[in-house]
Chains A and B, each alone.
Chain A
Amino acid sequence: MKKVLLVDDSISVARQLEKILVESGDFQVVGQGKNGLDAIKMFQTLHPDIICMDMNMPGMDGITALRTLMSLDKTVKVVMITSLGGVGDKFNEAIKLGAMNVISKPFEAENVLKILRGL
């Protein structure tokens, strides 16, 4: 079972994602962070297989965290889940930095699972 770290400042999104992942039976949610700094700290202690991270968060944003995560470990699999996914520049920046995919909000459960299973 793949270990997933969720990083989103919204409690409701984290809950929704956790429900989708746990009910699928394919993923285990090992931690939940609220900003980019949490993502970096939790990645180093929890060693997740996948990180699902928002872009627009207070404190350290998702793009800054992605840049740091990739400098720590180029093999880390990060999927950005964000309402800004449809903004071309943001999408391109995330993909260039090393994100495996960018999922727009609102998201569909099947789409999230299809993308994460494909990693």
Chain B
Amino acid sequence: MAVKFFGQFLVEQGAISREALLKAIELQESVNKSIGDIAIEMGLMTQADVEQVNLAQRSEDLRFGDLAVKMGFLTSEALQKALQKQSESHLYIGKAIVMTGGLDAEQIDQYLAAFKADQSLYATDRVLLPSELKHQPLWEMMADLSYKMLTRVARLTFRPVPCEIVKRLEDFHIIAAMDFTGDVRCRYVFSASEEVQTQVAKAILSQEEVSHEPKEVLDDTVMEFINVVCGNIAAKSVQQGIALDILPPELLTSEGGIDIPAGYTGLNFPICLADGKASITIIIYP
């Protein structure tokens, strides 16, 4: 019941052992090359150029190819050629498992079909955003996966309200946040009324009654809920070619709302419920 990748699905299903997967990963890693190595092979960059880009990546939040173009080591056309070569020679985990004897081709096809059916629950539906933004599909996926998790994990029945750009986070009973780092930087914020927090707590704790639970536990369930949502967003973003990592969740204190700093973009997705209200806000860093 989560966003997974194929190798993980196979081990979880008991289709292959951890050792068999490790063998396939080792083969994959010996065959699949980085863009830097491919650029060297194609005579587009030297080892020294690649090292300079790797060094620059420590202080600049860009992918290798984009940074190499920015630094003048590659033209956009040359990068496209290198990316195409990388894509054509890529060894997928399923094929690597067959090559290392973990499963045969027919078994892989059967498990792949089962995997696709399992993951179809998390296929991204279109979410309308108020304006054209960089990384548009990422924000759409974040909102869509949040809606799906609100239904499946928090067991809430709700109606999403169209997204709006906001300069301020509204005051709520509880506001929990998680930061994304990696290829894109943003903060994920989930704000909920007391009624919604109670529903989330019941679902996370698998209990019918939570009124006796201390505030610490109720607050923790909201943080755990966004931890699950954001971890699954990070998994899904890899499928879009964007590497994201998450920091632990935290609670924000709000008295009368929280201003979104100048230069940051606040994408707000209000959620309408029969009992209570909630909101998902993605604060995009400049």
Binding site for B on A (CB under 8 A): 9-13, 15-16, 19, 56-58, 82-89, 91-92, 95-96, 100-108, 111, 114-115, 118
Contacts and interface: CB of A to CB of B under 8 A. Distances in A.
B59 interface: no
Contacts, number: 112
Q: Taking chain A's interface residues, is the majority helix, strand, or loop, or is none over half, making it mixed?
A: mixed
B11 A101 contact: yes
Contacts of A9: 248
Contacts of A13: 224
Contacts of A11: 216-217, 220
Interface residues of B, number: 40
A69 B243 CA distance: 27
A12 B205 contact: yes
Contacts of A96: 22, 25
10 tightest A-B CB contacts, nearest first = A83-B231, A86-B235, A104-B2, A86-B3, A10-B224, A86-B4, A88-B5, A11-B220, A58-B248, A12-B221
Given A83-B232, A95-B11, A95-B18, 13 more contacts: A12-B217, A12-B224, A83-B234, A85-B235, A86-B2, A86-B8, A86-B232, A88-B7, A89-B238, A104-B12, A108-B1, A115-B12, A118-B14
Contacts of B184: none
A56 B5 contact: no
Nearest to B248: A58
A109 B126 CA distance: 32
A12 to B, nearest CB: 5
Most buried by B among A82, A83, A107: A83
